[in-house]
Amino acid sequence: MCGKLKVSMYGTRDAASNWANEYGETLKKAGYQQGVTNPCLFWHPGKEVAIMVHGDDFVAIGSDEQLAETQKTLADKYKIKVEKLGADAGDVKEVRVLNKVIRYTSEGLELEADPRHAELVVRDLEVEGSKTFRTPGVKVENKQVMKGSDDEQEDDKEDPPMGSKDATRYRAIVARLNYMAADRLDIQYAVKEVARNMSTPRQSHWSALRRIGLYLQGRPRLVMKYPWQKSLSMAVTYTDSDWAGCRKTGKSTSGGIVTIGGHIIKSYSRQQRTVALSSAEAELHAMVAASAETIGVINLCKDMGMKIGGEVYADSSAAIGIAQRSGSGKVRHIRVQALWVQEVRSTGRLAYHKVLGSRNPADVLTKHVPAELLNVHLKTLGLEVREGRAETAPTLDSVEAWTIAWTKGGQERKEVRFSKVVQMVEIPASGKCRRTSGAKKTRTSRRKLGRVPGGDEEVGPEKERWADIEDDDNLEVQLAECNAKWDKSSNSNGVVAN
């Protein structure tokens, strides 16, 4: 028996898709326009309300009057819980979105990562109470670099791979750091470096990972400030690269920070896939990545009713010169896709400018820098290191209030009891299979002779047709006994849901 589900089962493949279609239709009927670049963004041109959806979490921005209408639109169809962040007396001053803390102040908004990730990293690395570091990493000198892969036996002897348990532990900590690094610009480059060793971590890689833990112990909290500012019409991206920063592979690192005014929208630190033959080529590859990120932010702003342009700042005069001319010129070894920035500039989508290397904040995303320089760039970007913890930040041993209330129970407690014994009804298969003795003819030969099993034509003395197979005499008796046992057990130990 087959049936059609009225609702999607939790965890199935199409459950998320059906839910996205459900709330999408609800918002579009209310006059919202769904984003083209990101379908999880919605914008109402008349009300000037922007909505971001992540799973079943809705984040809306707008005036109080318009937000009240948006709340009514959702409350008429769904059961919702609302928290309003604002300056009024009844508004909360701190909320959590995906466990990230967002705080309202008189100077603007503040954002910080879930502090539990840093606490878990410190705990898993067992560095509580140890001496802290002022930087998350240190530059590896040439004499500290392992030898090339030509002599793998010598490499394994000098720096053996980790055991299975230690390697699993290493990957788990790095994966947590990788998730946390999106909101911690100060550790992004260091996390990128340790993540490169996840496939085959070695004993020497523990020291780099442990240094990040010691840095987080001293700086567990980094607050990103978003001060109040007027509406701006330009997204500015700072980009930089470290040519041949990896001494083993010769590959470079690209780093970038996308901003709108004094607000950090996105930051990244990535390893370049190709080996650059010059610093200009490495900077050009970094400019390509920065241009793509800038255009992506511009498109996201367009989905939310904002029309802005874009500018890219780099500290390489040679790379800017390549972007501002047409063709490869004398640098004919550069890949054609790297010249995409020339088309972007000529069509007016982005503009490219020069910034002094000492004032380029993207420098901290391409290499390990001294603590003094790191602090200067963090202050320039509006990042502040603080002590303590946020008021609404969860702790490692905390349990949500609604979870405690549900487990304690009460009048509205829901219980689902299942039978302790599950009996499987055995269905006899006697006489229900076609005999195959002597059937050694190939499929091709049977097709040519017209001898299809189960047909009305003669299929040979060694075979029998389905219609000629007789049931076992005891089959009906066995089925009746099984059904009786099943009915009896179902009445005594059935499934009950209140």
Q: What is the pLDDT of residues 68-116, one digit of tens each?
A: 999 999 999 999 999 999 999 889 999 999 999 999 999 999 999 999 9
pLDDT at 394: 86
What is the bridge-based pairing of β-strands 57-61 and 222-227?
A: unpaired
Angle, helix 164-180 to helix 188-195, in steps of 10 degrees: 150
Counting Cα atoms < 13 Å in the Cβ hemisphere of 477 gives: 3
What is the bridge-based pairing of β-strands 222-227 and 108-112?
A: antiparallel
CA dist 21 → 18, 39, 58 (Å) = 5, 10, 15
How far is residue 134's CA from residue 278's CA, in Å, rounded to a whole number?
A: 32
Tell which residue, 244, 247, 322, has the closest CA to residue 279: 244
pLDDT at 488: 64
In single-letter form, the type of residue at position 125 comes to L
The 8-class DSSP code of residue 408 comes to: H
pLDDT at 95: 94
Mark 3-34 as b/e (b = at least 16 C-beta within 10 Å): eeeeeeeeeeeeeeeeeeeebbeebeebebeb
In angstroms, how far is CA 428 from the centroid of its own chain?
50
Tell which residue, 264, 243, 267, has the closest CA to residue 256: 267
pLDDT at 471: 52
Tell which residue, 343, 279, 348, has the closest CA to residue 309: 348
Positions in the chain whose pLDDT score sits under 50? 143-151, 402-404, 406-411, 413-414, 416-422, 438-444, 447, 451-469, 493-498
313: region left, alpha or beta (phi > 0 left; psi from -120 to 50 alpha):
beta
Computed over its alpha carbons, how large is the radius of gyration of the chain?
32
CA dist 477 → 347, 422, 427, 488 (Å) = 83, 22, 12, 17
